Structure 1
Amino acid sequence: MPRSAYDPPSGSHDDEDSDDYERYHGPVTAPVSPTYRRRLPAHENDRLLGTERRTTYGAATRADTFFRHNTTGGTLRRSRHHSRRPSARFVPGQRTQAQLDDTPKDWNDDVMQGSSFLDERLWYDQFTSIDWVHDSIKDGIRLRELRSRKDFRGRMLALFDGAQGWILVAVIGCITAAIAYFVDIADKHVFELKDGICTTSWLSTHRACCGGESSCDAWNSWSQLVGFSRFDNESVDFIFYVFWAILMAMGACGLTMFTKTVVPSTIALSTLDENLGAESSNAPQSPSGHFASLRSNPSTVYYSAAGSGVAEVKVILSGFVLHGYLGLKTLIFKTLALVLAISSGMSLGKEGPYVHIATCVGNICSRLFKKYRTNDAKRREVLGASAASGVAVAFGAPIGGVLFGLEEVSYYFPPKTLFRTFFCCIASALSLKFFNPYGTGKIVPFQVRYVSDWEIFEMGLFILLGILGGTLGALFIKATNIWARSFRRISLIKGAPMLEVVLVAFVTGIVSFWNRYTKLAVTELLEELTAPCDPTGVTKSGLCPNEKDDILPVVKYLLVAFVVKSLLTTITFGIKVPAGIYVPSMVVGGLMGRIVGHLTQYFVATYPDFFLFASCPAVPGVESCVTPGVYAMVAAGATMCGVTRLSVTLAVICFELTGSLNHVLPFCIAILCAKWTADAIEPRSIYDLLTDMNNYPFLDNKGSHPATDQTLGDLSRSTGRHRTINISNSPLVRAKDLRGKLDYLLMAGELDSGLPINSALCLLTIGTGLSLIMKTVTQMVRCMISPSTLIHPPLLSTYIPHWI
């Protein structure tokens, strides 16, 4: 995995002071140790995250003592408390095989008991991967020791150990629901500051201030409060609306800036295949010069509170390490910034950030129990359940949350994790139901109920909406990619994220103010788009025309809102504020579906005797046969599928939002058509695009089919001589050559420094301490080489270190 590059020696050893040389290299007669530079004082370029995250470990001066301790320079994993027990000594002589045969049977047990294998948590560098095998073995040994106790105390400890996971996910679900309640209440109050204020209680919303009425004396707009005589009231309200939108967006961006993380350019962000491909080119630059040129590149900067965080959570659950991305600081700042970002009126949602926030809660709460605190693989089981609870509180859909964890984010999902995820989602949704943030008994405002069934002729329209939704989602991904690679590549925009946020907020304010539907919050707009019309004809949304002549004006307003929301969603996604894409994409699809629904209403009202409409009930009213809200919900799910490529999850979420078994089939058909269409236009989902743009090393288990008619040589690129050890001609390898290859790998930023051997005799891996793993037919020996001049792979004079 990539890591910070290492500084090659700048001068020859002849010019150095003899005392310093012996201090770091050992006796003058011995070859130079390849690890001496990691025992030197740390340089500024060795920092991964700046001065506030710098960690330096000391090391012993003797080579054999140094090899038994972990150092910063080339260790993939570090434990806080190292084993002080001397390593087992193994000296092969003339009869090496006889000595191997005489190895005590309990040798592995002795090594395990004296090692630090099970002592503490392994600590990983930035932009590396966890050791799944180590953590799995560690947890298995822990369970074996726990279950070996047959007394009463041992049985109680085993029961408590099994209950820890259930207790933990219940706590995570309740805390996630509490945070969602705070965000729902806060953004509802702050959002309406753009329109005015309640004079009797300035913290009250418009609905609470006026008792549900559209207007009242207690609620005053900003034009009434300021009273400018030179301008009309609408102009004053417009100025204050844009002002508050920009101010809230700046506040959200400012809070996001506090989570800035700088990663030096020496940490390569490319995969191994890309690295090999780059080095296989015939570049005139030397290896040291090639990697030294990385220092001139700008550092990588990311903001852990920006965006939705779903792509990063997905990568983290696959084993990737992003320090601070799931910490308490990110949780606090992202929650506060999310309130301001939603209140600004920009076309973004809070449902995606809920996944990130819930995962932060899971990461923090996992420190309550040691088996999750010290085991990163076990912790990721909890993180997967936490991410699912974020979807449960975002849509009020616990089953949809479980399927989201199974289909989208979780990389490892055994049945035990499935049940705990289900329990976590139920705990979060039930807690939010008790909190009742909207005062209506709904978990989310866009929960709707349809009483009328759909007609047979509408199935063709649902398929059409699925195709249109998939096309719209795929085009959104392409437009987002183009916008990110064009506008955001401008030096002024790239160097000042706040400027882009201000521009987007300004454009959103001046465009959205004049249209009622674009002025609404995305959750309220989605509620109005998907809600069925009141049979009494009393409505405040303006989306329920009573006569045929009233349909086309409604379609005109919806068409304008559709164009505006589509453009605003494209330029908003990716700015440096917490921003989700779930509900904004559903709003765009809902506008499109509502337009199709009203046009269908108009056609049915114009040609009531058409043979396809023979099954429509003979009841007066334009909504007697067609319900536009159903079209909006179908198109909303299809568009979200085109953006995220969720399939089963979305069908279940739509069912849980509507509670209608009659409409499950239209939802499924439209989502299926949307996924097929979107995959044909753009194979990547929006999160796959973000993963590729950020160069995260994510191994997708849903990728293309493996090639069965090609060999590995056809698929992989040729490697340079610095990366392999060729013993085809001679089994002898000079230690000087090994040290040179190791230096090359360290400069390349590879932590494991693994070197494949071109031979069938053994498997040899050179580690950062020149560790070798030799595998023969009869034995496997884990060892470390001393700085000898010649090394014969089958016969090694070595030290056997503590168990890794």
Structure 2
Amino acid sequence: MSDELGEQSPLLQSGDGVTPKRSASRDEDATSLLDWYLSKNEQRLDETNVGERLPYSDYSSIDFLHDLVKDSARLRFLRRRPGLRFKLISLLDQASGWIAAAIIGTLTACVAFLVDVAQASVSDWKFGYCSSNPLLSRQSCCAGKTPLLKINDLTSELDNLCESYVLWSEAYTPAFAIYVSFALLFGLLASGVTLLTKRSLPTAAQAPHSEAFSDDTPRPTPTGKVMYMAAGSGIPEIKTILSGFVIPGFLNLKVLVVKAIGAVFAVSTGMCLGKEGPFVHISTCVGYIVAGIFPKYRHNGRKMREMLSAACASGLSVAFGAPIGGVLFSYEEISTHFPRKVLLRAFLCSLCAAVVLKALNPTGTGKLVLFETKYGTPYEPQHYLVFIVLGLAGGVFGGLFCKLNLLWSRWFRGFPFVKRYPVLETCLIVLATTLLQFPNPLIRETGDEVVKNLFVDCNDGAARTAWICKMEAKEGNAYVGWLVYGVLTKLVLTIVTFGVKVPSGVIIPALDGGALFGRLLGQWVTSISPGIFALVGAGAFLAGVSRMTISLAVIMFELTGEVEYITPCMVAILIAKWTADAISAEGVYDVAQTVLGHPFMDLESSMQIVQLQDGCVDDLIPPQQTMDEITVVVPASGVSRQVLEKKRRQLQDRGLMDAGLVLVDEKNMLQGYLAQGELDFGLGTLGQLYPEDAEVRLFDGASETDLDLSVLVDRTPLTILSGAPLEYALEMFAKLGLRYLIINEEGSGKVLGVVIRKRLVAYLDQIKHE
């Protein structure tokens, strides 16, 4: 049983695998699908009688349709049983989804509270400490106290200072050195704990008596893809899981704890990353752990993924204080299966997370809104021209970011020393970040503080003492220079940082770049507050990077509480998406999936690819050798166990852990399908009770001496004709969540082939990059 989602699959994941390009010591980081080639071991396989191999050998998949039938059988059993006991059990079963959603939201908020408070305190240690309580952040230490009036090289550029907060040094150079030292220390800690989650995905073991290799031929040692489970935002992996694939160990308690601790230190370094993406991963881990308590989720991959979709909403809810935006984010950006009941449970989960987080009050403001603003100045029709410019700039930023980050990941992270020593890469990026950001007061602090400072309205009397407002009140071009420097620095540093082996997200850096550019543009539009353009620019830049639309517009509203500026944000977001799509078809999470090599099939984008092809389903038929290996002619007398053992070994030699055997009669007419997991269970576990020469019955009519595997056979596999359009197969896989589909010949109905999900995904990847 998988320890990731509880799927009952005795042979965990390896599929039909072409291995991504590796170095001599096996690349620890999955490379682009474009770089695939056959390893020496796989070339040796090709010289034998072993059939073809497909990509994604380290992943297995679930069958949504079969899980639906399994859940229906469970419900019928509960509701047809008489008595009060089963009536109560049935009622509890119906309420379990709502109970789980509420618990997930509550626990996610508790974890977010701890991360927020710890990160605020740790990041401020780069500047100084609170003399009354070193564990307090600068804001908490100085809350309600008289502001510090003394001005020197450093305090003139830091807000919220008081006598209780002691700077390490008031001189610029020593403060700079201490800042860099603490950032490097935090980078080491963040990367060090992330390495604790290094894990190889399961892969197929060679059969002990494989016929694919002679006695004097060295057999390849199966090694799965190496992943750092807590690295990155986790969103590409979650999208892969929710689409029906399995990544064992990605959502366990260890990853949750490491992700939370690593995010605290990673954000505290000041690198161009945020904790909002990791919050989505953390909430999904909480969802998996909580839902695993309930048997109906623990033993059903489809039901589990429904709860994980709801859990994702609470992650963004606590990240931005945006409960509605969190629900829409899960629907628009992450989930592939989102029925109405999932929407309602995501709503409850996100609501509970927001309520609990507001009560815990990690920011000390008593408000859920993270960057509350009250500009009070309405925009005029001519300002739409500025909003359009912000949208265009955001689209260019996002499109360039996606292209350049992909190139950077392939080039820089292709060096052996970077692959071998990910901590070194982190330290180099931390050093470059601190050296570039500390001299600029606008981007010296962490990303969320940068956004908060740039959104400020200098017309508000309480905000006029802020450093930004003081600079805008002065005459001269120094402040404009800091803004230009900040935009360029954020673009470069975000490109090289995204993908580093620490918990990290790209949402806050994109908001930073957009807010800086919007504030810069606002220096020449004096009729309204430049903070308004910072707000709209932040949304535009994030739209260009992530390609979010509806959910982002709602998030920007919930983030600031500014209802009046929803329309400008919508204009800029839509233009940014159009512009970014024209430059780069893939958003940041799609690029990450390409770099990491995770399988994913999005119906909308995949359909656009298929519609450009003049092909049909017979393009997906496996080679004849493969079909010979996976086809079993089942006579009326039963199948010899030796025949099935041979077929089983052939599947193992090819790594087809996600495949199975097509059962036909003497006329090659379909009789059923036996998945490899069930085949291994039947021959390995059940077969121990029977002699080696026992007949195997795959259909009804088994005697006491026969090994009966009929209960493991799918007698009604879905089929499609070979001449059907490719769009038919894509719709069936995407909307029904199939694991396999049988291809029949037109007219005769004879079996021509079988398509597994990995074959379809690999085919889509191939034609996409042709």
Normalising by structure 2, we get a TM-score of: 0.74
Q: Is 2:180 the partner of 1:261?
A: no
Instruction: Please name the residue that 2:30 is paired with.
Output: none
Instruction: Please name the residue that 1:102 is paired with.
Output: none
Instruction: Please name the residue that 2:656 is paired with.
Output: 750
Contact 2:696 2:709 in 1 (8 A): no
- Partners in 1 of 2:674 and 2:419 — Cα distance? 41
Instruction: Please name the residue that 1:161 is paired with.
Output: 93
Instruction: Please name the residue that 2:283 is paired with.
Output: 358
Contact 1:545 1:551 in 2 (8 A): no
Aligned residue pairs, count: 625
Instruction: Please name the residue that 2:42 is paired with.
Output: none
Helix, strand or coil for the counterpart of 2:166? strand
Contact 1:746 1:753 in 2 (8 A): no
- Partners in 1 of 2:204 and 2:632 — Cα distance? 35
Q: Is 2:197 the partner of 1:240?
A: no
Q: Which one of the candidate residues 92, 113, 117 is aligned to 1:185?
A: 117
**Letter in structure 2 aligned against 1:723:** M
**Letter in structure 2 aligned against 1:222:** W
Instruction: Please name the residue that 2:670 is paired with.
Output: 762
- Partners in 2 of 1:335 and 1:445 — Cα distance? 20
**Letter in structure 2 aligned against 1:751:** M
Q: Is 2:551 the partner of 1:649?
A: yes
- Partners in 2 of 1:5 and 1:700 — Cα distance? 19
- Partners in 2 of 1:541 and 1:508 — Cα distance? 24
- 1:622-641 matches, within 5 Å, as 625-641=527-543
Between 1:794-803 and 1:717-726, the stretch displaced more is 794-803
Between 1:187-196 and 1:159-168, the stretch displaced more is 159-168
Instruction: Please name the residue that 2:165 is paired with.
Output: 219
Between 1:524-533 and 1:172-181, the stretch displaced more is 524-533
Helix, strand or coil for the counterpart of 1:197? strand
**Letter in structure 2 aligned against 1:747:** D
Helix, strand or coil for the counterpart of 1:702? helix
Instruction: Please name the residue that 1:128 is paired with.
Output: 60
Q: Which one of the candidate residues 408, 428, 436 is aligned to 1:503?
A: 428
Bigger Cα Rg? 1
Between 1:422-431 and 1:715-724, the stretch displaced more is 715-724
- Partners in 2 of 1:341 and 1:567 — Cα distance? 18
Contact 1:177 1:393 in 2 (8 A): yes
- Partners in 1 of 2:700 and 2:291 — Cα distance? 46
Contact 2:60 2:658 in 1 (8 A): no
Helix, strand or coil for the counterpart of 1:633? helix
Q: Which one of the candidate residues 558, 582, 586 is aligned to 1:680?
A: 582
Q: Unpaired runs of 5+ in structure 1?
A: 7-124, 225-232, 269-285, 602-624, 773-783
Contact 1:731 1:792 in 2 (8 A): no
Alpha-carbon shift at residue 711 of structure 1 (Å): 3.9
- Partners in 1 of 2:698 and 2:189 — Cα distance? 65
Shift of the 716–452 alpha-carbon distance from structure 1 to 2, 3 Å rule, reads same
- Partners in 1 of 2:356 and 2:69 — Cα distance? 36
- 1:779-794 matches, within 5 Å, as none
- Partners in 2 of 1:256 and 1:539 — Cα distance? 42
- Partners in 2 of 1:531 and 1:294 — Cα distance? 65
Instruction: Please name the residue that 1:310 is paired with.
Output: 235
Q: Is 2:659 the partner of 1:721?
A: no
Q: Is 2:256 the partner of 1:331?
A: yes
Q: Is 2:346 the partner of 1:421?
A: yes
Alpha-carbon shift at residue 658 of structure 1 (Å): 2.9
Q: Is 2:132 the partner of 1:200?
A: yes
Shift of the 150–551 alpha-carbon distance from structure 1 to 2, 3 Å rule, reads farther
Shift of the 533–756 alpha-carbon distance from structure 1 to 2, 3 Å rule, reads same
Between 1:672-681 and 1:739-748, the stretch displaced more is 739-748
Contact 1:493 1:499 in 2 (8 A): yes
Alpha-carbon shift at residue 795 of structure 1 (Å): 12
**Letter in structure 2 aligned against 1:248:** F
- Partners in 1 of 2:289 and 2:342 — Cα distance? 18
Helix, strand or coil for the counterpart of 2:523? helix
- Partners in 1 of 2:522 and 2:345 — Cα distance? 41
Normalising by structure 1, we get a TM-score of: 0.71
RMSD, aligned α-carbons = 3.6
Contact 1:532 1:628 in 2 (8 A): yes
Alpha-carbon shift at residue 450 of structure 1 (Å): 3.2
Q: Deviations over 1:62-107 (max 9, x none)?
A: xxxxxxxxxxxxxxxxxxxxxxxxxxxxxxxxxxxxxxxxxxxxxx
- 1:565-580 matches, within 5 Å, as 565-580=490-505
Instruction: Please name the residue that 1:446 is paired with.
Output: 371
Q: Deviations over 1:162-215 (max 9, x none)?
A: 221111111111111111111111111111111112333322333344426244
- Partners in 1 of 2:167 and 2:620 — Cα distance? 66
- Partners in 2 of 1:245 and 1:728 — Cα distance? 62
Q: Deviations over 1:747-797 (max 9, x none)?
A: 11002543558976335546559969xxxxxxxxxxx99979999999999
Q: Unpaired runs of 5+ in structure 2?
A: 1-10, 17-56, 149-160, 681-689, 713-770
Instruction: Please name the residue that 1:707 is paired with.
Output: 611
Q: Deviations over 1:211-254 (max 9, x none)?
A: 26244444332236xxxxxxxx3221111111100001101111
Shift of the 414–769 alpha-carbon distance from structure 1 to 2, 3 Å rule, reads closer
Shift of the 483–197 alpha-carbon distance from structure 1 to 2, 3 Å rule, reads same
Contact 1:348 1:573 in 2 (8 A): yes
Q: Is 2:598 the partner of 1:696?
A: yes
Q: Is 2:83 the partner of 1:145?
A: no
Contact 2:320 2:370 in 1 (8 A): no
- Partners in 2 of 1:261 and 1:558 — Cα distance? 42
Contact 2:634 2:663 in 1 (8 A): no
- Partners in 2 of 1:368 and 1:789 — Cα distance? 40
- Partners in 1 of 2:178 and 2:102 — Cα distance? 44
Q: Deviations over 1:281-336 (max 9, x none)?
A: xxxxx9759xx999379752211111110111111112211111110101111111
- Partners in 1 of 2:167 and 2:421 — Cα distance? 34
Shift of the 460–223 alpha-carbon distance from structure 1 to 2, 3 Å rule, reads closer
Shift of the 548–194 alpha-carbon distance from structure 1 to 2, 3 Å rule, reads closer
Contact 2:14 2:60 in 1 (8 A): no
Shift of the 154–746 alpha-carbon distance from structure 1 to 2, 3 Å rule, reads closer
- 1:475-624 matches, within 5 Å, as 475-536=400-461, 538-544=463-469, 550=475, 552-601=477-526
- Partners in 1 of 2:596 and 2:431 — Cα distance? 28
- Partners in 2 of 1:304 and 1:505 — Cα distance? 21
- Partners in 2 of 1:197 and 1:728 — Cα distance? 72
Contact 1:532 1:627 in 2 (8 A): yes
- Partners in 2 of 1:795 and 1:663 — Cα distance? 71
Shift of the 698–220 alpha-carbon distance from structure 1 to 2, 3 Å rule, reads same
The percentage of counterpart residues that share the same residue type is 37
Alpha-carbon shift at residue 128 of structure 1 (Å): 1.0
Contact 2:12 2:203 in 1 (8 A): no
Instruction: Please name the residue that 2:102 is paired with.
Output: 170
**Letter in structure 2 aligned against 1:135:** D
Helix, strand or coil for the counterpart of 2:372? coil
**Letter in structure 1 aligned against 2:184:** I
Contact 2:199 2:229 in 1 (8 A): yes
Alpha-carbon shift at residue 741 of structure 1 (Å): 5.6
Alpha-carbon shift at residue 549 of structure 1 (Å): 6.4
- Partners in 2 of 1:316 and 1:355 — Cα distance? 13
